[in-house]
Amino acid sequence: MTNQNALKPMAPHPHPHAPAAAETACCGSTACGSPAASIHTADIPKGALLFRIPTMDCAVEESEIRRALEPVAGVRGLRFRLGERTMAITVDDSALSGALDAIRKAGFKPEPLNDSTGSPAAGAQAAPAPAGIAGMSSGLVRLIAALVLAIAAETVSFLAPEGTGPMVVEMGLALAAIALAGLDTYKKGFAALLRGRLNINALMAVAVTGAFLIGQWPEAAMVMALYAIAELIEARAVDRARNAIQGLLALAPELAEVRQPDGSWKRAKADAVALGAIVRIRPGERVPLDGVVTEGASAIDQAPVTGESIPVDKSAGDPVFAGTINQTAALEFRVTAVAANTTLARIIHAVEEAQGTRAPTQRFVDRFAAVYTPAVFVLAIAIAALSPWLMGWSWTEAIYKALVLLVIACPCALVISTPVTVVSALASAARRGILIKGGTYLEEARKLKAVALDKTGTITEGKPKLVASRLLDPAGDEDVVFAIAASIAGRSDHPVSKAIAEGLKRERQPVGDFTALPGRGVQATHEGRSYVLGNHRLIEEQGLCSPALEAELKQHEEAGRTVTLLASGQAVLALFAVADTIKPSSQAAMAELRALGVTPVMLTGDNAATARAIGMHAGIDDVRGNLLPEEKLDAIKALQQRHGMAGMAGDGINDAPALAQADIGFAMGGAGTDTAMEAADVVIMNDDLRRLPETIRLSRRAHAVLWQNITLALGIKAVFFVLAVFGSATMWMAVFADMGASLLVVANGLRLMRSPKTD
């Protein structure tokens, strides 16, 4: 598989077919409660149209609307709030009419609530007042009352003598229980049957109606009550998985302390703070917005954004991210992103979008369920119609067994097994600083056999550091000589000179007549004496090289170091070796990759000697240097031919062609880097290469849980199929089995929300 999306910019809002940001998830019971009282417009994308859909309050209806809109060209984004029964749709003007027609043909009636400017639409009516938590509580009370009535009907049937009176009481109790628990299911079920769709509501409506018509009144009532209660429990569990990442939103405080034009400080809403404003945070407070520190120094806990367990020291010029925690001292920072575009907000949008991309296993399950449910429905009809002739059953017994099969046929556990698992894994990864942009990449990562890695900024820190220094003048004073070198280097903007100045940490001396020598180094005077600070070539031109110095320079150069020499007109005084050091995590990451059976390969444009030295230090055997971007692309193709699936880890900018060709592209250091977040399929937010093997391990765990859930759901159904046809399975037992399977697969999928463990 070739990654065709690596270079596409990340959409600012969820994919048109992504089930992002749904507030409630259920499978069709009345337990969903009333629609929300007010419509929260803060999360509505700019230019989106908001519609209320009265009959949409669960994941079944949401999925049907998404399927109806899939063939409609021009639909750019969808966002649902099931609790409020609202849908925000971003659509081209020319496609709006077709989109609404598609929704209506699916059996729903969209009611406009705003126009494209966000203003209320003409004639729009507010949603009915919700009960919120109170509504959920009242719904649960109603379902418990239905269960009590169903139990009462069972008790009357079991204890009361036969007669018209007890029969009427039994039927009345059952009807009351069904009315309390199942009216909404009936409405949706019959609507689905009229449209020729066999969803869970249709199956339950047919099964309960059939049981009631053959005189199984208490059992019909018990089935509907148990179904509705189990749906409520399942809905809450699914909701936890679907909205797991939304908990990150609460990490960013609503208020920010902003400096006013007169120098005073005032609390203001974070979403109203403008770019460039100065914000102050005290110790213990969370950072409200992204910014760059202008004053102060402190340690920041960045775990919510990057997954780093150790606080990071921040001072003037360092970036800070919304949702992180200031720990030790007050800081002031300049805002660089508004609330809707912070790194935290972009992470949430990306994960929401990823939640909607159907993983390969999920697509398989959806296709299987689409065939499985009608097949079981036909089987149930065949049993009801043919078994009295073929097996000698009574008509009542045959119809009853067929109805039990319909209850067992509910595909809920099977269908729900994959999205819960995928979403849990995506949320777990995001909390660890791993942003996976789709279920496909989550599943495919386990298949990687080779990973190519860029050197600079990926394996190494990407910043040159002074790694060795030596006084060469035996008569010189090291402190004096090094102070002169630091002073001259401090006047230059060259990265190597900056590394020398920072690494020497000597008190600066006054220097004059500073002159840059392009391609060679710099020249300056100190106390009337002239000095040069430059490379090997400059020293050779000065005629100051000796065989011993040449040998020492060769050793450093073979080790991948850049050597700079300080010399006066008569002699070389000191040697300074600068190198781009490898990250502390690189060696461990390469060892973990090899333990997983993945071959690490270094691809770099740096010279071969430096590449070999870095590769040897990091533990990489296959090192390829002096590569141009197109040559890196060819190298990825060669790895795919040799190993199979191959990934590429880079900075998301210079390595764009290779990232695009790789089966999965990993961008390093995504925190605060727009290009990195947009370029790759997986973004490692904190530059820690160990997150790469962690992603592969998570992929393998997710794949195992996916198939555990599928096996569990189908296995339980198979057992009860046999019991229903040849044993004594009852309808309420079938409901327990089906809902039990649903809850088991949800609970198993939620295990992935735990932090990934290393092997």
H/E segment holding residue 668: strand 664-668
Q: In what order do the strands lie in the sheet containing 291-295?
A: 265-269, 255-259, 278-281, 331-335, 291-295, 319-320
How close are the terminal C-alpha atoms of the chain, in Å?
A: 27
Distance CA(534)–CA(551), nearest Å, equals: 18
Distance CA(445)–CA(372), nearest Å, equals: 30
Contact yes or no for 336/291 (Cβ under 8 A): yes
H/E segment holding residue 513: strand 512-517
Record the tokens describing residue 516, joined without a space: 């840059």
Q: For 152, what's the count of Cα atoms within 13 Å in the CB-facing half-sphere?
A: 18
H/E segment holding residue 624: strand 622-624
Whether 681 is catalytic is: no
| Residue from 454, 455, 436 nearest 696 by CA | 436
Contact yes or no for 211/400 (Cβ under 8 A): yes
| Residue from 117, 140, 126, 123 nearest 86 by CA | 126
Record the tokens describing residue 201, joined without a space: 């509501």
Contact yes or no for 152/47 (Cβ under 8 A): no
* SS3 letters across 447-476: HCCEEEEEHHHHHEEEEEEEEEEEECCCCC
Q: How many CB atoms lie within 10 A of CB 255?
A: 13
Angle of CA points 463, 465, 471, to nearest 5° = 160
Write the CA distances from 384 to 333, 380, 395, 732, integer angstroms.
73, 6, 7, 19
Distance CA(71)–CA(73), nearest Å, equals: 6
3-class SS of residue 84: helix
Alpha-carbon radius of gyration of the chain: 33
Q: For 493, what's the count of Cα atoms within 13 Å in the CB-facing half-sphere?
A: 1
Record the tokens describing residue 396, joined without a space: 């009542």
Contacts of 512 (CB under 8 A, 6+ apart): 524, 525, 526
- Ranges of H-type helices in 278-342: 303-306
3-class SS of residue 90: strand
Distance CA(433)–CA(450), nearest Å, equals: 22
* SS3 letters across 574-613: EEEEEEEEECCCHHHHHHHHHHCCCEEEEECCCCHHHHHH
| Per-residue b or e along 211-246, where b marks 16 or more CB atoms closer than 10 Å to that residue's CB | bbebebbbbbbbbbbbbbbbbbbbbebbbbbbbbbb
3-class SS of residue 6: coil
Q: In what order do the strands lie in the sheet containing 49-52?
A: 75-81, 86-91, 49-52, 111-112
Burial class (CB in 10 A: 0-12, 13-18, 19+), 158: exposed
Of the residues 239, 290, 454, 681, which is catalytic?
454
3-class SS of residue 684: strand
- Which residues are annotated as catalytic? 454
